[in-house]
């Protein structure tokens, strides 16, 4: 598996996983590879740091030594699942940076969803009905949020009505959707 850092002309940086260089080139040439943030098909590879599996005395909790002589991450911060992992695998500073970057993206998405929810009118259980009324021009187009079933959301999409589904944390798995 080959993991690449990719970017679009808008400066969006994201990660792609490929079977190899041929797989990357095939997906790029067929248009399957697009930016997940803006949809651009103009994708370029960026410099990527490989993940290193280093043998360390992890059972003593010592730091790994990277090939350039820098210290790695303490083993006890990333517990291994079995004896083979304990002997051979240690996350590098790159993995820690990627985790921090992902946490930043999660915070950004959560903040954006909060702003959108605050600006949308809550129509409660009438979501599907209100979305259809706006789609048909029977009511003023506006941002709405509310609750609907997964089946109703599917039917709205089939009618050409764009719907963004978020699982409601209040209902848990299989609950109603917002």
Mean pLDDT of the residues in the chain: 74
pLDDT confidence bin for 23, thresholds 50/70/90:
confident
CB 5 within 8 A of CB 15: yes
Reported as a single tens digit per residue, the pLDDT across 146-162 is 998 889 988 999 999 98
Which has more confidence, 81 or 176?
81
Q: How far apart are CA 35 and CA 2, in angstroms?
A: 18
Q: How far apart are CA 126 and CA 176, in angstroms?
A: 13
pLDDT of 136 reads 93
Per-residue pLDDT at 37 exceeds 80: yes
């Amino acid at each position: 598996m080959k993991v690449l850092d990719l970017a679009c002309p808008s400066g969006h940086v994201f990660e792609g996983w490929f079977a190899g260089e041929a797989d990357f080139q095939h997906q790029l040439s067929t248009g399957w590879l697009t930016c997940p943030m803006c949809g651009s098909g103009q994708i370029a590879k960026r410099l990527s740091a490989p993940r290193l599996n280093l043998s360390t005395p992890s059972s003593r909790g010592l730091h790994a030594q990277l090939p350039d002589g820098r210290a790695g991450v303490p083993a006890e911060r990333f517990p291994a699942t079995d004896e083979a992992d304990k002997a051979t695998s240690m996350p590098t500073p790159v993995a820690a940076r990627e985790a921090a970057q992902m946490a930043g993206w999660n915070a950004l998405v959560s903040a954006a969803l909060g702003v959108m929810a605050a600006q949308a009118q809550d129509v409660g259980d009438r979501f599907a009905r209100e979305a259809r009324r706006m789609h048909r021009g029977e009511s003023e187009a506006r941002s709405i949020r509310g609750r609907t079933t997964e089946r109703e959301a599917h039917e709205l999409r089939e009618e050409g009505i764009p719907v963004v589904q978020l699982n409601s944390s209040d209902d848990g798995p299989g609950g109603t959707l917002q």
